Amino acid sequence: MLADERHRLDELVCDGLSVRDSIALSYRELPPEAARLFDRLGLVEQPAGFGPDLPGVRQDDRTGARPGNAAELLRQLAHAQLLRPPGGPSRPHYRFHELVRLFARERAATAVR
């Protein structure tokens, strides 16, 4: 069942809380602009990660982020543990954990229109 991405977030449970519910708690605490960026990032196929200058993050890529504000929004998502922060020269961009990426894709499918 875990191989099926559609069910993975519900099947993984710790102390009665599914991974989906845990991620949703963090998501609901986001400021609206950071939540919109998170939703948009769920649409982006970006194996190299995300940075304020990368497609999918800039204003002209429909994120809803104000120009110059994308870096701060990415930091907010990392602080909420919804993105992994950059890790030095070998990993200079923000990235999704695989399970958070699944949640972001679900959000993108329902929230981004």
Summarised one tens digit per residue, pLDDT across range 20-72 is: 888 999 999 999 989 988 998 888 876 667 776 665 555 544 555 565 678 88
Amino acid present at 5: E
d(CA 105, CA 109): 6
| Sequence spans of domains, the chain | 5-111
| pTM of structure | 0.76
Q: Is 68 exposed, middle or buried (0-12, 13-18, 19+ CB in 10 A)?
A: exposed
Average pLDDT, rounded, for the chain: 78
State how far the alpha carbon of 57 is from the alpha carbons of 24, 25, 52, 61, 74, in Å: 21, 23, 6, 6, 9
